[in-house]
Amino acid sequence: MVAATIRDIAIIIIALQSIVIGLLLGVLVWQVWRLIKMVQTEIKPILTDAQETVNTVRGTTTFMSDTVVDPVVKTSRTLVGLRRTVLRDASGTVHSISNGTIRQVSNLTRVYAAAIVDVPGVREGDIETAIEVMNRVGLELTEDPAWADRIIEPPKYVSTTAFTDLGATLRMSGRVKPGDRWAVPAELRRRLGPALLEAGVEPNRRAVGGGPPG
């Protein structure tokens, strides 16, 4: 009788121990699951952000170094952010550059383009006259009904880009619709030639064979 009682007590104790061990294992599994979730939702994003920050600093430093030491894109408008740098060059092309890994996307059709025409070989005494002709031709083209809807801002003289033995190089530029970035400059050149000659401005041209300008 006593032996049976002892046996029953031992069985109960073992059963209780099994239950307690099972509960402890359940708690352990739950804690491990919570730890995994915390790593996924909290620690991993922190590590990712830290890596992106390092890449951003490295990429921005490299980009600034390349831009300052050896400029590739001459910009007229710039937008700088933590994730990317947006540049618009002289022709109106928008370059979107990721700061982290320096991935570049160039957009030739965003909002507007620049119609650029250079007139080289202008003699010193003809510069002011040439500028007046360039401004007049640009305005006339803008007012021409066949071209008015293609031009956003009248082309006009904007700078003198060079001085050589042939003379000054004068540049005119205006904003046009992206699809007309080539057509408008071509029409400007067609009109400028006769207009300059009519005003007595004949740009120097280097003779064939590299001789002195005519």
> Is the residue at 147 inside a domain?
yes
Structure token digits, residue 33: 């699951």
Whether residues 106 and 119 share a domain: the answer is: no
Whether residues 37 and 127 share a domain: the answer is: no
Looking at residue 152, which CATH number applies to its domain?
Answer: 3.30.70.100
Whether residues 133 and 175 share a domain: the answer is: yes
d(CA 84, CA 72): 17
Q: Whose structure tokens read 């109960």?
A: 12
- Whether residue 120 contacts residue 169, with contact meaning beta carbons closer than 8 Å, is answered with yes
Whether residues 145 and 85 share a domain: the answer is: no
Whether residues 12 and 45 share a domain: the answer is: yes
pTM > 0.75: yes or no:
no
> Using one digit for the tens of pLDDT, what is the confidence trace for 54-63?
565 555 555 5
Structure token digits, residue 152: 């956003």
Confidence of residue 118 (pLDDT cuts 50, 70, 90): very high
Out of 20-24, 35-39, 74-78, 105-109, give the one with best mean pLDDT: 20-24
- Exposed (0-12), middle (13-18) or buried (19+): which is 6, by Cβ within 10 Å? exposed
Whether residues 20 and 81 share a domain: the answer is: yes
Ramachandran region, residue 145 (left: φ > 0; alpha: ψ -120 to 50; beta: rest): alpha
**Can you give the pLDDT at residue 76?**
44
* Domain that residue 32 falls in: 1-110
- Number of independent structural domains in the chain: 2
Q: Above 90 in pLDDT, residue 187?
A: yes
d(CA 100, CA 53): 8
Any residues with CB less than 8 A from the CB of 55 and at least 6 apart, and which? 99, 100, 101
Overall residue count recorded for the chain in this entry: 214
Q: Above 80 in pLDDT, residue 214?
A: no
List for the chain the helix, strand, coil content (%; round to 5): 50, 25, 25
Closest CA to 176 of 165, 187, 167: 187
Q: Residue 175, Cα to own-chain centre: how many angstroms? A: 19
> Is the residue at 143 inside a domain?
yes
Q: Above 50 in pLDDT, residue 44?
A: yes
Lowest model confidence (mean pLDDT) among 25-34, 125-134, 138-147, 150-159: 25-34
